[in-house]
Amino acid sequence: MLDYLQRLGATSLSMFERLGRGSVFFVNVLLSIPSVVVRPRLLVAQVYSVGVLSFSLIIISGLFVGMVLALQGFYTLSDFGAEGMLGVMVAASLVRELGPVVTALLFAGRAGSALTAEIGLMKATEQLSGMEMMAVDPVKRIMAPRFLAGLISMPILATLFSAVGVLGGYFIGVGLLGIDEGGFWSQMQAKIDFDQDIINGLIKSVVFGWVVTWIAIFEGYDAIPTSEGVGRATTRTVVHSAFAILLLDFILTALMFGDV
């Protein structure tokens, strides 16, 4: 029993210690952001790497999610004779929930794991130490541009996901299932609220972008500098990001839409 309590205490302490290290690291990254603004080339390269290179994954996933939503939604709505609301259902689901959440999960798998592996390997091959000894701060040169790139890319990717998803819904709803095209778009235009739906969805995607990128770069920076250590850190990035996204999604949804 005492052993169990001791182990529990040690695990909790180590968890809080890691959280503390992660928070200090995050503050250092934030303080380094002005140095990125002065050198936009570093930022552009990272936006390309974490954002642009994720386009194909996001577009394909968004298209299929939108198509599936339309199929599933049609059969449920048709029971109530409400097929005309299909556009609203697809758009609301995507903009409010699936756009930010699924994009963030895909982003964690595609860009987050790549960031952790890249930074972890830089640590394992002493590239980060080498930079420090060349008087180049790796937090400013490596971490801050990647963090900012993640923060910028996530809302763009989530928007792209939702837009392509709506198109997927349109192809299935109007093209395949024969719903009236005018009704599909006009209902969507009438019912989707810019502040309530679109802005709140964007806020979610920014928050998810922040948490996923923070986890990814910290895990890489804090990784044990061996191949096994980097492998474990990469796994942790995906798992912790998924938990954080789903937990934050619940909290944000309760705050944004709880009183509706």
**Closest approach of Cβ 88 to other proteins, in Å?**
46
- Quote the CA–CA distance of 128 and 121 in Å, as a whole number: 9
CB nearer to other proteins: pick between 58 and 139: 139
**DSSP string covering 122-159, please?**
HHHTTHHHHHHHTT--HIIIIIHHHHHHHHHHHHHHHH
**Closest approach of Cβ 141 to other proteins, in Å?**
8
| b/e code 66-80 from CB counts within 10 Å (16+ = b) | bbebbbebbeebeee
CB nearer to other proteins: pick between 14 and 129: 129
Contact 54, 106 (CB under 8 A): yes
**Closest approach of Cβ 132 to other proteins, in Å?**
6
Total binding residues toward other proteins, as defined by CB under 8 A: 12
Binding mask 73-112 for other proteins (x = CB under 8 A): ----------------------------------------
**Closest approach of Cβ 260 to other proteins, in Å?**
48
Interacting positions 140-199 with other proteins (CB under 8 A): 141
The secondary structure of residue 172, as a DSSP letter, is I
- Quote the CA–CA distance of 73 and 123 in Å, as a whole number: 48
CB nearer to other proteins: pick between 90 and 230: 230
**Closest approach of Cβ 134 to other proteins, in Å?**
5
**Closest approach of Cβ 126 to other proteins, in Å?**
4
**Closest approach of Cβ 18 to other proteins, in Å?**
16
Q: What are the residues whose beta carbons fall under 8 Å from the beta carbon of 119, sequence distance 6 or more?
A: 128, 142, 143, 146, 217, 220, 221, 223
Contact 168, 62 (CB under 8 A): yes
CB nearer to other proteins: pick between 116 and 205: 116
CB nearer to other proteins: pick between 5 and 134: 134
**DSSP string covering 211-245, please?**
HHHHHHHHHHHTS-SSHHHHHHHHHHHHHHHHHHH
Q: How far is CA 109 from the centre of its chain?
A: 9
Interacting positions 112-151 with other proteins (CB under 8 A): 125-127, 129-130, 132-137, 141
Interacting positions 17-76 with other proteins (CB under 8 A): none
CB nearer to other proteins: pick between 11 and 125: 125
3-state secondary structure 60-101: HHHHHHHHHHHHHHHHHHHHCCCHHHHHHHHHHHHHHHHHHH
CB nearer to other proteins: pick between 59 and 122: 122
Residue numbers at the binding site for other proteins (CB under 8 A): 125-127, 129-130, 132-137, 141
